[in-house]
A and B are shown apart, each in its own frame.
Chain A
Amino acid sequence: QFRETKMFMTRVFSRTPRYNQYARQFGVSHPMRHGAPKEVDENAPRYTVNWLLKDGSKVVTKDVEGVHLLEIAHKNGIDLEGACEASLACSTCHVIVADEDYYDMLPEPEDEENDMLDLAFGLTNTSRLGCQIILTKEIDGITVKIPQATRNMAVDGFVPKPH
């Protein structure tokens, strides 16, 4: 019943294109849309993503080229929200790339991604949206950290000045 409902909801609520439809014509890379899983070649090489989770634990995943990190997270039961289902309309899949070298290897974010990152909680210089990081051979072994709220930080990013 859940599967039916999930597909039903996706069909209804993703039907109307948002303004982004115009914007994307000018972009180079296309944001991933939530859709049916692609055909996977069993023999295709798999690349590693290392995850540092909110509770401090580590998970290692392997997947094929072309999938984005939000998809990988959900396939592996990793607690990363994707509220807008990879349509660049939220910042809940925000991840922090642990190594600057890997960060630099990723293609530059588009305006739309940067606009969403602006609103992300705990933004850093190596932050990206998980749904926009596409797994490739070049970034095999990338480590990403899922931001965790700390007690001293307000959820809208405000950090109180110490007395």
Chain B
Amino acid sequence: KKHKIFLKMMTSVVWKRGSRCAINRVIPLRPGRLNTCAVRNCTTTTPTQAHITQTPETTTRSSATISTLDATTPEATSTSATVTSSTTTSSETSRPVRICIVGAGPAGYYTAAALLQKNKNVQIDILEALPTPFGLVRSGVAPDHQDVKSVQTRFTEISLNPSVRYFGNVHVGRDIAVGELRRLYTIIVFATGAAGNRKLTIPGSGLEGVHYARDFVAWYNCEPGAKRGYDLKGSTAAIIGNGNVAIDIARILARRIEDLDQTDISSETLEILRESNIKDIHVIGRRGPVQASFSTAELRELQRMPNVNVIVADSPSLSESDAGELKERVNLRKYDLVKKIATAQPDPTKKNIILHFLKSPVQFDGDDSKLNSLVVEQNVLVGGPHAQRAIPDEGKEFLRINCDVVFLSIGYKGKKIPGVPFDSRSGIIPNDHGIILDGENPLPGLYTAGWIKRGPSGIIGSNVFDAQETVDTIMSHWDQLVNKEGEEEKTGDIVSLLKKRDVRYVDWNGWLEIKREEEERGEKRGKIAEKFVDIREMVRVSNKDSV
């Protein structure tokens, strides 16, 4: 017997007398994991409002920017227990359902794709804070990984769908409030990614020469507003972290200039890299090789670089619980590659990328406020398979590693959107399979997808499934959201609001102008593109032909 949760616009959850329902409780797991846990069955025999009713007090916090909706009495509507989710039930002659997606990265685009697959009568507006679309595909994926960027073709296809409009240079929270979006759109999906950093604050982390990986990546990828000023004249770099971003940085620092100078890497970065003296790059991971977050593919790429030795600092050892984790093929293949790398003979003429495991930085030391070394403690893993933690190994000494520049690559972190619930500890929007929760209450019409929903883990492709899950949740609520009796129709268009407010938004043709210009500039320098770093310049170029 099927059972569904019925959402009412007063955000109370009601179900019929005698029906069973399954509520997925949201239990926050550690950051980086999808924020759902087991399904708990509960029965209720009362037809009254469920115990999760939004009280007026809790409404005020988020309703400041969420417009209050018509009061409806919490009677069970007479609709059937099952909801057809394969196709919409709104008639073709009715107005298209207005949907807003905040964020034009992979999560935003795959959400749009999944919505378009299920619905013909929709209008999807994608809002993006930068003038340019594609999120981390443009500003995160490294310039020597152009084939990973070819997903932009797919995203372009979605943008060109007549039901989709793109609005770049529109910052939700600054140019338009969430409350205003609620008046314009029936459904809003926040897919804003993870715009911030997980911080490491240990003694010396303020020294000159200590940087965040994310800032360095943003800089070499020409992200507007990226921090500049990296001194690579020293001989040794250290990267704290064991993810793909850490490997990206190691690789870019080690890459031959001739393998970079035709890409769309920042020209400023190219000049700094040309003058770089870095020969040794330490990549330092808190846990063991089996737990390292980097992909085997990325490690294999390092191994195959013609001008690089990959060295494993200590002979790789396994904990008891590692054996359990090695039953998973992804871990086994990764560990086998590390073992293989550990046996290779280094060539003294090449640059060195040195992999350290079971080490955590405890302080950075310097001379005259400039970094010259870092101190690490050695760790041991405790706990069962898939639940191992790194703790300091009291029996082992601290080690000093001389270095001239450090990149902290310990994770990205989401940022709060004004007017939307946020868990600042984990950096995600509390949600239940994609519907946003205020405390325990689902907020009707508000959804989330991507890293801001599940934490900053996974690859571009992970968002295909993440978006699918969110859209499945949206479809299960479709009838309640779309065929509301008494709900005022969404009138008005975001275009008039943005124009009135003098927001110089960039539409899809504007983006194509920017792209064309970047490629022309690139051609002059033998590069596939010379990206803009200045938003005002982008906007100016995008409006070239407009009145």
Residues of B within 8 A of A158 (CB): 33-34
Q: Report yes or no: A115 in contact with B157, Cβ–Cβ below 8 A.
A: no
Q: Report yes or no: B150 in contact with A2, Cβ–Cβ below 8 A.
A: no
Q: Report yes or no: A13 in contact with B152, Cβ–Cβ below 8 A.
A: yes
Neighbour of B528 across the interface among A12, A79, A162, CB < 8 A: A12
Residues of B within 8 A of A84 (CB): 147-148, 150-151
Interface size class of B (residues with CB under 8 A): 35 or more
How far is A66 from B391 in the complex, measured between Cα atoms in Å?
A: 53
- The answer, yes or no, to whether B160 is at the interface (CB within 8 Å) is yes
Which stretch from A43-51, A96-104, A118-126, A137-145 is at the chain B interface? A118-126
Q: Report yes or no: A13 in contact with B150, Cβ–Cβ below 8 A.
A: yes
Which stretch from B51-59, B173-181, B344-352, B453-461 is at the chain A interface? B453-461
Q: A119-B330, A156-B33 are contacts. A10–B153 as well, Cβ < 8 Å? A: yes
How far is A89 from B137 in the complex, measured between Cα atoms in Å?
A: 13
Residues of A within 8 A of B24 (CB): 151
A-B pairs under 8 A by CB, number: 151
> Shortest beta-carbon distance, B78 to chain A, in Å?
27
- The answer, yes or no, to whether A55 is at the interface (CB within 8 Å) is yes
- The answer, yes or no, to whether B329 is at the interface (CB within 8 Å) is yes
Q: Report yes or no: A9 in contact with B38, Cβ–Cβ below 8 A.
A: no
Q: A5-B160, A16-B262, A115-B295 are contacts. A83–B154 as well, Cβ < 8 Å? A: yes
Q: Report yes or no: B148 in contact with A149, Cβ–Cβ below 8 A.
A: no
Residues of A within 8 A of B146 (CB): 13-16, 18
> Shortest beta-carbon distance, A102 to chain B, in Å?
20
Which stretch from B123-131, B353-361, B462-470, B480-488 is at the chain A interface? B462-470
* Chain A window 107-140, contacts with chain B (Cβ cutoff 8 Å), 1 for yes, 0 for no: 0000110111011110100000000000000000
Q: Report yes or no: A92 in contact with B464, Cβ–Cβ below 8 A.
A: yes
- Number of residues on chain A facing chain B (CB within 8 A): 51
Beta-carbon nearest neighbor of A22 in chain B: B304
How far is A121 from B461 in the complex, measured between Cα atoms in Å?
A: 9
- The answer, yes or no, to whether B257 is at the interface (CB within 8 Å) is no
Q: Which interface residue of B33, B306, B462 has the most chain A CB atoms within 10 A?
A: B462
> Shortest beta-carbon distance, A18 to chain B, in Å?
5
Q: Report yes or no: B153 in contact with A6, Cβ–Cβ below 8 A.
A: yes
How far is A25 from B333 in the complex, measured between Cα atoms in Å?
A: 21
- The answer, yes or no, to whether B149 is at the interface (CB within 8 Å) is yes
> Shortest beta-carbon distance, A160 to chain B, in Å?
5
Residues of A within 8 A of B333 (CB): 114-115, 118
- The answer, yes or no, to whether B544 is at the interface (CB within 8 Å) is no
Q: A154-B454, A158-B33 are contacts. A34–B160 as well, Cβ < 8 Å? A: no
CB within 8 Å of B: which of A23-44?
Answer: 23, 34
Q: Report yes or no: B461 in contact with A83, Cβ–Cβ below 8 A.
A: yes
Residues of A within 8 A of B329 (CB): 118, 123
Q: Which interface residue of A10, A85, A90, A114 has the most chain B CB atoms within 10 A?
A: A90
Residues of A within 8 A of B466 (CB): 155
Beta-carbon nearest neighbor of A111 in chain B: B300
Beta-carbon nearest neighbor of B519 in chain A: A12
Q: Report yes or no: B86 in contact with A55, Cβ–Cβ below 8 A.
A: yes
Q: Report yes or no: B462 in contact with A87, Cβ–Cβ below 8 A.
A: no
- Chain A interface SS verdict (over half): loop
How far is A55 from B461 in the complex, measured between Cα atoms in Å?
A: 19
Q: Which interface residue of B39, B145, B151, B454 has the most chain A CB atoms within 10 A?
A: B151
Q: A12-B529, A115-B295 are contacts. A156–B462 as well, Cβ < 8 Å? A: yes
> Shortest beta-carbon distance, A82 to chain B, in Å?
8
Beta-carbon nearest neighbor of A149 in chain B: B465
How far is A138 from B301 in the complex, measured between Cα atoms in Å?
A: 33
Q: Report yes or no: B34 in contact with A18, Cβ–Cβ below 8 A.
A: no
Q: Report yes or no: B465 in contact with A79, Cβ–Cβ below 8 A.
A: no
> Shortest beta-carbon distance, B32 to chain A, in Å?
8
- The answer, yes or no, to whether B495 is at the interface (CB within 8 Å) is no
> Shortest beta-carbon distance, A123 to chain B, in Å?
7
How far is A121 from B468 in the complex, measured between Cα atoms in Å?
A: 13
Q: A16-B144, A121-B461 are contacts. A83–B454 as well, Cβ < 8 Å? A: no
Beta-carbon nearest neighbor of A9 in chain B: B153
Residues of B within 8 A of A112 (CB): 297, 300
Residues of A within 8 A of B48 (CB): none
Residues of B within 8 A of A13 (CB): 146-147, 149-150, 152-153, 528
> Shortest beta-carbon distance, A109 to chain B, in Å?
11
> Shortest beta-carbon distance, B151 to chain A, in Å?
4
How far is A114 from B33 in the complex, measured between Cα atoms in Å?
A: 24
> Shortest beta-carbon distance, B359 to chain A, in Å?
25
Residues of B within 8 A of A22 (CB): 304, 306
Q: Report yes or no: B304 in contact with A23, Cβ–Cβ below 8 A.
A: yes
How far is A82 from B12 in the complex, measured between Cα atoms in Å?
A: 41
- The answer, yes or no, to whether A75 is at the interface (CB within 8 Å) is no
Residues of B within 8 A of A123 (CB): 329-330
> Shortest beta-carbon distance, A27 to chain B, in Å?
12
CB within 8 Å of A: which of B291-313?
Answer: 295-297, 300-301, 304-306
Q: Which interface residue of A9, A23, A54, A91 has the most chain B CB atoms within 10 A?
A: A9
Neighbour of A118 across the interface among B39, B86, B330, CB < 8 A: B330
> Shortest beta-carbon distance, A143 to chain B, in Å?
22
Q: Report yes or no: B156 in contact with A6, Cβ–Cβ below 8 A.
A: yes
* Chain B window 323-357, contacts with chain A (Cβ cutoff 8 Å), 1 for yes, 0 for no: 00000011001100000000000000000000000
Q: Report yes or no: B461 in contact with A154, Cβ–Cβ below 8 A.
A: no
How far is A79 from B330 in the complex, measured between Cα atoms in Å?
A: 26
Q: Report yes or no: B461 in contact with A90, Cβ–Cβ below 8 A.
A: yes
How far is A14 from B469 in the complex, measured between Cα atoms in Å?
A: 31
How far is A39 from B434 in the complex, measured between Cα atoms in Å?
A: 45
* Chain B window 232-259, contacts with chain A (Cβ cutoff 8 Å), 1 for yes, 0 for no: 0000000000000000000000000000
Q: Report yes or no: A87 in contact with B465, Cβ–Cβ below 8 A.
A: no
Q: Report yes or no: B153 in contact with A85, Cβ–Cβ below 8 A.
A: yes
> Shortest beta-carbon distance, A116 to chain B, in Å?
7
Residues of B within 8 A of A20 (CB): 147
Q: A23-B304, A115-B296, A115-B300 are contacts. A89–B33 as well, Cβ < 8 Å? A: no
- 14 pairs across A/B with beta carbons < 8 Å? A16-B528, A18-B147, A20-B147, A81-B110, A83-B461, A90-B459, A90-B460, A91-B459, A112-B300, A116-B297, A119-B459, A155-B465, A156-B458, A162-B38
Q: Which 7 A-B pairs have the closest CB atoms?
A: A154-B34, A115-B297, A83-B151, A87-B147, A118-B330, A149-B465, A92-B461
Contacts A16-B146, A119-B330 known; 8 new A-B pairs at CB < 8 A: A1-B160, A84-B150, A84-B151, A89-B150, A115-B295, A115-B300, A119-B459, A162-B38
